[in-house]
C-alpha cells in the first residue's frame, strides 16, 4: 500500500531533492526501512542506533504524532501521509 512521505528541507538532499516520496509498507518502520534502502543517506536520520525514532525527529501520520500511537509499529493505510519534521529547540 503506497503512502506519501513528506520530507523537510534538511532531509531532501538525501532523497535527490524531493519534497515528498512514495513508499510501501504496512507500518512506519517498514516504510522507513524501504526509504533507507533507496536513499542510504536517510537511514541514520529516520531511526537511531537502537532502532527507535530519534529524539529530535517528529513523525506524523495524517497529523497524528506517532509517538502517541505505536511509534515505528504504527499501521499504515493506502493513501496515508507521513510527515517527518525535525524538532525545533532553543533557549
Q: What's the CATH number where 34 sits?
A: 3.10.20.30
In a domain? residue 91: no
In a domain? residue 33: yes
In a domain? residue 56: yes
Which residues span the domain enclosing 38? 2-86
Q: 82: which 3 cell numbers?
A: 507521513
Q: Report the first-to-last Cα separation within the chain, whole angstroms.
A: 41
Domain count, the chain: 1
pLDDT at 16: 95
Residue in the block written with cell 497529523: 63
Q: What is the sign, positive or negative, of the torsion defined by CA atoms of 60, 65, 71, 73?
A: negative
pLDDT at 58: 94
Q: What is the mean pLDDT of each run of 10 residues along the chain (91 residues)?
A: 92 96 96 95 90 91 96 95 85 62
pLDDT at 88: 75
d(CA 26, CA 44): 21
H or E element in which residue 51 lies:
none
H or E element in which residue 82 lies:
strand 81-86
In a domain? residue 66: yes
Amino acid at each position: 500500500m503506497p503512502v506519501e512521505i513528506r520530507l523537510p528541507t534538511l532531509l531532501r538532499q538525501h532523497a535527490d531533492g524531493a519534497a515528498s516520496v512514495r513508499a510501501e509498507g504496512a507500518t512506519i518502520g517498514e516504510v522507513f526501512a524501504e526509504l533507507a534502502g533507496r536513499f542510504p543517506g536517510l537511514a541514520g536520520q529516520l531511526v537511531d542506533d537502537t532502532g527507535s525514532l530519534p529524539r529530535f525527529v517528529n513523525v506524523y501520520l495524517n497529523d497524528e504524532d506517532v509517538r502517541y500511537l505505536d511509534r515505528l509499529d504504527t499501521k499504515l493505510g493506502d493513501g496515508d501521509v507521513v510527515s517527518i519534521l525535525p524538532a525545533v529547540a532553543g533557549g
